[in-house]
A and B are shown apart, each in its own frame.
Chain A
Amino acid sequence: GAVVSQHPSWVICKSGTSVKIECRSLDFQATTMFWYRQFPKQSLMLMATSNEGSKATYEQGVEKDKFLINHASLTLSTLTVTSAHPEDSSFYICSARDERGRGYTFGSGTRLTVV
């Protein structure tokens, strides 16, 4: 079945540094990628939607200059948390849909801790 590989699975970084999270679709072309964040004991909140080759669409309240999304190819989307702060500590997870819109395949998530 469809697989999305997300890396890293966890990362600890210092305040002010940037962190890049990658999601790769291994056996299908991910024309659309959704990026979510999840706070402890809360639900997944959609951050942005990206379509291959075009700019991401961000949800209200999500800073696009802080959370840079690149979806340059049909198999790779990246989320870069720029100038990270402790309040950015969260669980980030991607979800991909293929060109036929079949199902949602989730990555395994990235736990980011900013110290």
Chain B
Amino acid sequence: GDSVTQMEGPVTLSEEAFLTINCTYTATGYPSLFWYVQYPGEGLQLLLKATKADDKGSNKGFEATYRKETTSFHLEKGSVQVSDSAVYFCALRGVSGNTPLVFGKGTRLSVIA
């Protein structure tokens, strides 16, 4: 079945550092790919998404490019802030019908001033 593999954390960075969180997936066809963010004590919020190969999703300085050849959707940000501290989930939605999202295990990011 479909699956998402995400680099495990926790990741601790200093403010203004470069962030990469790796995400690879296994799925048939061309799934849609998502990054969600979960701030402490809150639910999930969609951060960005891409629905076809070579699409780049971007939001709030975060970017991720849908790479079909490497089945990857790595999350990047050039300069992180303390307010980016959260748990980040990579997820996919399969191509067939009204399917639920399949999530990676999440990566906890802590940004220190």
List residues of A whose CB falls within 8 A of some B CB: 6, 32, 34, 41-44, 46, 49, 93, 95, 97, 101, 103-104, 106-109
Q: Are A95's CB and B100's CB within 8 A?
A: yes
Q: Are B101's CB and A104's CB within 8 A?
A: yes
Given A93-B43, A106-B43, residue A43 in contact with residue B100 (CB < 8 A): no
Given contacts A34-B100, A43-B106, A93-B43, 9 further A-B contacts (CB under 8 A): A42-B105, A43-B104, A46-B100, A49-B100, A93-B44, A104-B46, A106-B36, A107-B43, A108-B43
A78 → chain B, closest Cβ, in Å? 17
Interface size on B, residues (CB 8 A): 17
Given A43-B104, A46-B100, residue A103 in contact with residue B43 (CB < 8 A): no
Chain A CB within 8 A of B42 CB: yes
